[in-house]
A = this chain, B = another copy of it.
Amino acid sequence: MSSNAYQVLEQRFARMGALNEAAGMLHWDMAAVMPEGGHGARAEQLAILNVLAHEMLTAPETGDLLEMAGAQGLDGWQQANLREMRRLHVHATALSGPQVEAMTRANAACEKAWRAARLAGDFKAVQPRLQVVLDLTREAAAAKAEKLGLSPYEALMDQYEPGALVAEITPVFDAYAAFLPEFLGRVVEHQNRRGAPVAPTGPFSVASQKALGERLMGVIGFDFHHGRLDTSLHPFCGGTPDDVRITTRYDEASFADALMGVIHETGHALYERGLPEAWRRQPVGQARGMALHESQSLIIEMQAARSHQFCRFLSPLLNETYPGNEAAFDPDNLFRLYTRVEPGFIRVNADEVTYPAHVILRYRLEQALISGDLTLGDLPGAWNEGMKQLLGLTVANDRDGCLQDIHWFDGAFGYFPCYSLGAMTAAQFFATAVVASPEIPAAIGAGDFKPLLGWLRTHVHGLGSSLTTAEIVTRATGKPLDAGVFRGHLEARYLAAA
Contact = CB atoms under 8 A, between A and B. Distances in A.
Interface of A: 14-15, 18-19, 21-22, 25-26, 29, 33-38, 40-42, 44-45, 47-49, 52, 223-228, 240-243, 280-281
Contacts of A40: 242
Contact of A35 (B25, B41, B224): B224
B37 A225 contact: yes
Nearest to A23: B22
Contacts of A29: 25, 29
Contacts of A21: 41, 44-45
A29 to B, nearest CB: 6
Given A38-B240, A226-B38, A243-B38, A18 B33 contact: no
A34 B226 CA distance: 8
Contacts of A26: 22, 25-26
Nearest to A19: B48
Contacts of A36: 225
Decide if the interface of chain A is mainly helix, strand, loop or mixed: helix
B35 A18 contact: no
A35 B240 contact: no
A114 to B, nearest CB: 27
A33 B226 contact: no
A68 to B, nearest CB: 23
Residue from the set A35, A40, A228, A281 with the largest chain B CB neighbour count within 10 Å: A35
Contacts of A48: 15, 18-19, 22
27 contacts: A15-B52, A18-B44, A18-B47, A18-B48, A19-B49, A21-B44, A22-B45, A22-B49, A26-B26, A29-B29, A34-B243, A35-B224, A35-B226, A35-B227, A35-B228, A36-B225, A37-B223, A37-B226, A37-B227, A37-B242, A37-B243, A40-B242, A41-B240, A41-B243, A41-B281, A42-B243, A52-B52
A52 B41 CA distance: 19
Nearest to A48: B18
Given A18-B44, A41-B281, 7 more contacts: A15-B48, A15-B52, A22-B45, A25-B26, A35-B224, A38-B243, A41-B240
A22 B23 CA distance: 8
Contact of A281 (B18, B25, B44, B281): B44
B41 A242 contact: yes
Nearest to A277: B40
Nearest to A224: B35
A86 to B, nearest CB: 23
Contacts of A225: 35-37
Contacts of A227: 35, 37
5 closest A-B pairs by CB: A38-B243, A37-B226, A18-B48, A41-B242, A37-B225
Nearest to A20: B45
B280 A41 contact: yes
Contacts of A240: 38, 41
Contacts of A242: 37-38, 40-41
Nearest to A42: B243
Contacts of A19: 45, 48-49, 52
A35 B243 contact: yes
Nearest to A273: B37
Residue from the set A15, A228, A241, A242 with the largest chain B CB neighbour count within 10 Å: A242
A240 B37 CA distance: 11
A285 to B, nearest CB: 12
A25 B49 CA distance: 13
Contact of A45 (B18, B34, B41, B42): B18
Contacts of A224: 35
A141 B37 CA distance: 40
